[in-house]
A and B are shown apart, each in its own frame.
Chain A
C-alpha cells in the first residue's frame, strides 16, 4: 500500500478532477502533515514555518477559522505580505482576535 500522504493526495485529486470537469477551480486542501493536529490547540510555529505565503494563508484560515479563505481576502493579504505591509504574526493575531474565531472557539498555542 502507498504512503498515507499519497493516499490523501489521490483523494483530493479525485475531488479536484471532478471539479475540473465542470470548469470549477480546484480546492486548495490543507497540508497533509498537519491534518492530525487539533485546531483547538494548534502550534503557532507550524503556521509560521510554512514557506509559501499562499499556503500560509490557507492554513491560517483552516486552522483558526476552520474554513476556506475567500478569494478577495486571499489576494488582498497576499499583496500585503508581498509588499511587506503586514507581518504574518499580525495576520494571525488579527484573525485570532476576530469574533468569528471566538465563536468557533479554536485556539492557537502561542508557545509552540
Chain B
C-alpha cells in the first residue's frame, strides 16, 4: 500500500498561510519519521500528464523555502494509470483549485481500488457563498460533489465543519457512508528569528484584530464599537493586521478614511511573522469576530499567547476557544462594547482572566494534528477487517431483576442474533437472577470473579467509579467474544432489530446523542463525568461526541482493551463515561471502521425538560426505561405508536421554542437587544453574566434553557446561585460550578413556562451568594418573557 499525498496547489501557489500551513506542518513531520507504509508526496505536471514524486530531500528544501524553491528532480514520475492498486490517495491541499479535476480523477482511482481520503477545512463557498469568489464557489462545489460521490474518509478540522458537510450531504439525498474524523489544528507559537523586531505601536495599549479585512471577519462591528469606546478610554488604540480582502471596498474605504486613522486606529497590511508575534504578545485584548470559520486558528493563537480573546460564537469558534475566550454570542454591539469596557475598567478581573488562560488553557500542537492523521494511516495499514458474525453476545451489568427481566423478554421478542446473554451482578443476587427466562442461554457471572484485586472495597466506591470498574473488567471474562453488544438493563428494543443496526458493510455503527462541548449541566455525577471526559479526550486530540445514548452498542474487544489500557487509572480517580471514552477513542484511531449515527432512543432524556435535544432522532428503535414515566405519562399505554404520539406532544413546545429562538436571533442582532454584562457584587464577591437577551419568547408548558456565560471572582467554597424573579415571585435558581477563586463557564439558565398562562412577564435576573440575594426583587436586570 502506498499513500499518495497530492500537493499540486501548494506547489503552484507557494502560499504559506491557511491550508498550506497545515500541509507544511504535516509534511515536515511526515518526512522526519519512518513508517510501516510507503508514501509519495506528489504534484501533477499537466504538460507531461503525470505526477512528479518529490524526493525526501527535495521536500525538505521545498518546505523550508516554498516561495522560491525550484524542483530539480523531475524524473521520478508516473501517470494516473500507473498508480498502485489498493493504495490511498490523500487530498489535504486546496485540491479544488487544481486543473486535474476530482470528478475526473476519483472515478479512475476507484476503479483501481485506490481509497480516497480528504481533509476539509470549511464549507464557506457552499454555506456562505456571498463571501467567496464565483470561481472558488464553482470549483469548491464540484470538489465537494466528488467527495460525496467517491471519498472513503474525510478529516475535518472541527466538528462544526464535519456537521456542515454531513448536513449538506443529507440535503443532496446522498446516502453513501463516508467515514469522518475530526483532527484539530495546531497553534504552536511561531518560531521567531533572532532578529530584534521593533515597532512604535508595540509600546502602546491596543485592541488587536488579526485577519484579512473582509466582510466575513466583521471588522466593521469592532470599528463601530471602538468609535464609542474611544470616547471613554483615551489610552486604548485599535490595530487591524491583515491584507485587504476581496469584495470589500466599503469597509476598506471606511478604515482608510477614518478620522482616527494613524492616530488611534491603525491598519498594518503587510507585516512579517516575527512582528506579528510581537503584536500578539503585547496586545491588551484580541478580538476575532468572524461570521464563520472552519477552525479559527487566530483564536487558538491568541489564547496561546495568553491573551484575553473576544470572539463570536458560531461555527467552530467555541470548539477552539472553549471556556477561555469571551463570546459575542449574538454579534451585537452591546455585547462587544460591554465586554471590552469591562476589561478596560476592571483591572482585577482582567488580571484574573489572564491568569485563568495562562494556567488552564491547553493549545493543540501541530504534533497532535500530525499524530491524529498519521495514526489513521498506521492503523489502516494493519489491514483490520470487521467480520459480521451471525450472532453476538449481549453483555449486561445489572442489579435490578425487574428491569433485566423486562429487557430480556423484549430482546427475545425483537432480536434474533443473540449468541448468549452475559449478566454481571452482585454475588448475593445470583440465585435470584437464575430465575430469568429466555430462549437464549444466560451466563450469570459474579462481579467479584471479574473484578480481581478491585473487589476489595468495591462496595464503598461511588456509583460512577463502580460502573467504570465493572465495564472495564468485562475484558476479564474468558468467554467474551471479539465483538459484543454492551447494554444496560433498561435498554429495551421497540421493534425488530437486524444485526446491520450494529455492523454494516464492514463497519461498526456508533450512536451519539450530544456534543460534549455543549453539555452545560453540572448537577450530577453523570454531568461531571461528561465534563471530565471532554477535557481528557480533548487534550489527547480525540473527538468529543457523547455516546451514552442509553441503548445497546457494539464494542470491539481489542479496541476496548486499548481504551482500558490508556484510561483505566483516570477512570478510578474521577467520574468518566465508558461509552464516550470508548467510541471517541476508537473513532479517532480507526475512523475507517465506524459510521457515526444519530441516536434513536425514546425517553432519553427521560423528561423533555431535563435537557434540550441537540440531535433529534429520526426514528426510535430502543427505549430507555424509566419506571417513573410508566407511572405517569405512559401509564396503560401499550403500543409504540401511542408512546410516540405522547412524546411528540411533549416535545412540540420545545421545537416551537427552537423556532421562536431562531426568529428572535435576527432581532437580537439587528436591534441590539442583548444585555452586555450583568454585574453582581456583594461581600467583595463579583459575578458577571453575559449573553442574556432583552426578551425571550417561549411556548406555554415548556422550559427555556439559555446558554449563559458566567465569570465568578469568589472563594472556592462559596455557593453561588443564579436565577430570576418573575413578577416579583421567586423563579428557578441554579447553582454555579465553582472550582477556583476565578471560575468561568457556560451554564444552562432555565426558565420555566410550565405553569404560566399566555402573556407577558417581567423576569428580574439575580444572584444569590451564600444564601444572600445581591439585588433580590429590585434587580436592575430585566428580561421580558413572552409566553405564547
Q: Decide if B99 touches A106 in the complex (CB within 8 Å).
A: yes
Q: Decide if B173 touches A27 in the complex (CB within 8 Å).
A: no
CB-based nearest B residue for A41: B49
In the assembled complex, the CB of B46 is this many whole angstroms from the nearest CB of chain A, namely: 4
Q: Decide if B142 touches A18 in the complex (CB within 8 Å).
A: no
In the assembled complex, the CB of A78 is this many whole angstroms from the nearest CB of chain B, namely: 18
Query: Is B449 an interface position by the 8 A CB rule?
Result: no
Q: Decide if B141 touches A40 in the complex (CB within 8 Å).
A: no
Q: Choose from B100, B128, B134, B168 the contact partner of A68 (Cβ within 8 Å).
A: B134
* Chain A interface, DSSP helix/strand/loop, else mixed: loop
Q: Which residues of B contact A27 (CB under 8 A)?
A: 129, 134, 137-138
A39-B99, A104-B99, A105-B46 given; A11·B107 CB < 8 A = no
Query: Is A6 an interface position by the 8 A CB rule?
Result: yes
Q: Decide if B130 touches A2 in the complex (CB within 8 Å).
A: no
Q: Decide if A35 touches B142 in the complex (CB within 8 Å).
A: yes
Q: Which residues of B contact A10 (CB under 8 A)?
A: 171-173
Contact flags A36-68 to B (C-beta < 8 A → 1, else 0): 111111000000000000000000001000111
Q: Choose from B100, B104, B134, B145 the contact partner of A11 (Cβ within 8 Å).
A: B145
A1-B174, A18-B126 given; A29·B138 CB < 8 A = yes
Q: Which residues of B contact A66 (CB under 8 A)?
A: 99
Q: How far is the CA of A7 from the CA of B101 in the complex (A)?
A: 18
Q: Decide if A14 touches B104 in the complex (CB within 8 Å).
A: no
Q: Choose from B107, B127, B175 the contact partner of A18 (Cβ within 8 Å).
A: B127
Query: Is A86 an interface position by the 8 A CB rule?
Result: no
Q: Decide if B103 touches A18 in the complex (CB within 8 Å).
A: no
CB-based nearest A residue for B106: A36
Q: By the criterion of a CB under 8 Å from any partner CB, how many residues of chain B are at the interface?
A: 32
Q: Choose from A1, A12, A14 the contact partner of B175 (Cβ within 8 Å).
A: A1
* Chain B interface, DSSP helix/strand/loop, else mixed: helix
Contact flags A60-94 to B (C-beta < 8 A → 1, else 0): 00100011100000000000000000000000000
Q: How far is the CA of A19 from the CA of B128 in the complex (A)?
A: 8
Query: Is B149 an interface position by the 8 A CB rule?
Result: yes
Q: Choose from A6, A12, A105 the contact partner of B47 (Cβ within 8 Å).
A: A105
Query: Is B148 an interface position by the 8 A CB rule?
Result: yes
Q: Decide if B138 touches A68 in the complex (CB within 8 Å).
A: yes
Q: How far is the CA of A15 from the CA of B141 in the complex (A)?
A: 8
CB-based nearest B residue for A22: B130
Q: Decide if A36 touches B104 in the complex (CB within 8 Å).
A: yes
Chain B, 142-163, CB within 8 A of any chain A CB: 142, 144-145, 148-149
Query: Is B135 an interface position by the 8 A CB rule?
Result: yes
Q: Decide if B46 touches A40 in the complex (CB within 8 Å).
A: yes
Q: How far is the CA of A15 from the CA of B149 in the complex (A)?
A: 18
Q: Decide if A7 touches B141 in the complex (CB within 8 Å).
A: no
Q: How far is the CA of A27 from the CA of B129 in the complex (A)?
A: 10
In the assembled complex, the CB of A5 is this many whole angstroms from the nearest CB of chain B, namely: 11
Chain A, 23-41, CB within 8 A of any chain B CB: 24, 27, 29-30, 35-41
Q: Which residues of A contact B107 (CB under 8 A)?
A: 36
Q: Which residues of A contact B128 (CB under 8 A)?
A: 18
Q: Decide if B130 touches A19 in the complex (CB within 8 Å).
A: yes
Q: Decide if A40 touches B148 in the complex (CB within 8 Å).
A: no
A18-B128, A66-B99 given; A7·B134 CB < 8 A = no
Q: How far is the CA of A1 from the CA of B176 in the complex (A)?
A: 9
Q: Decide if A7 touches B173 in the complex (CB within 8 Å).
A: yes
- B→A interface (CB under 8 Å): 46-47, 49, 99-101, 103-104, 107, 125-130, 134-135, 137-138, 141-142, 144-145, 148-149, 168, 171-176
Q: Which 4 A-B pairs have the closest CB atoms?
A: A35-B103, A22-B130, A10-B172, A105-B46
Identify 20 residue pairs between A and B in the complex whose beta-carbon atoms are under 8 Å apart, listed by A's number: A1-B176, A4-B149, A7-B173, A7-B174, A11-B126, A11-B141, A11-B148, A18-B129, A19-B130, A21-B130, A29-B138, A29-B141, A35-B103, A36-B103, A36-B104, A40-B46, A40-B49, A62-B138, A67-B135, A68-B135
